[in-house]
Amino acid sequence: QSALTQPASVSGSPGQSITISCTGTSSVVGAYNYVSWYQQHPGKAPKLIIFDVSNRPPGVSYRFSGSKSGNTASLTISGLQADDEADYYCSAYTSSSTLYVFGTGTKVTVL
């Protein structure tokens, strides 16, 4: 199962909004609303920030929001802050034996 496609990098100035896309296929991303997003700071473990396309776990800032249209999921970070500078990975559940496919990852830079 191929990795989901994300832009390699996205940048924005403090206070701006950015959106990261995550493109899969009709059997991955498109088939289920089981898309999650993870934030990973350098040298740290990934942290869950969005699950089931658009839900935030307790404690995650409202500035993070998720959506999905067809085979593409998106993560939007509004009011960009310095601490948002990190790598972001999407993940999707698939009914194939691979079960979970991750995205290629996006490096977010705060200018």
Partner 1 sequence: QVQLQESGPGLVKPSQTLSLTCTVSGGSISGDIYYWSWIRQPAGKGLEWLGRFYTTGRTNYNPSLKSRLTISVDTSKNQFSLKLSSVTAADTAVYYCARGDFGEEFFDFWGQGTLVTVSS
Least distance in angstroms from the C-beta of 46 to partner 1: 6
**Order of strands, edge to edge, in the sheet holding 72-77?**
18-23, 72-77, 64-69
Give one DSSP letter per residue of 12-63, joined into a string. E-TT--EEEEEE-BTTBBSS-S-EEEEEE-TTS--EEEEBTTTBPPTT--TT
For residues 7 and 46, which CB has a smaller minimum distance to partner 1 in the complex? Answer: 46
Which one of 20-28, 62-70, 78-86, 92-100 is the stretch in contact with partner 1 (CB under 8 A)? 92-100
- 11 interacts with partner 1 by CB under 8 A: no
**Residues interacting with partner 1, by CB under 8 A?**
3, 32, 34, 36, 38, 44-48, 51-52, 57, 89, 91, 93, 97-105
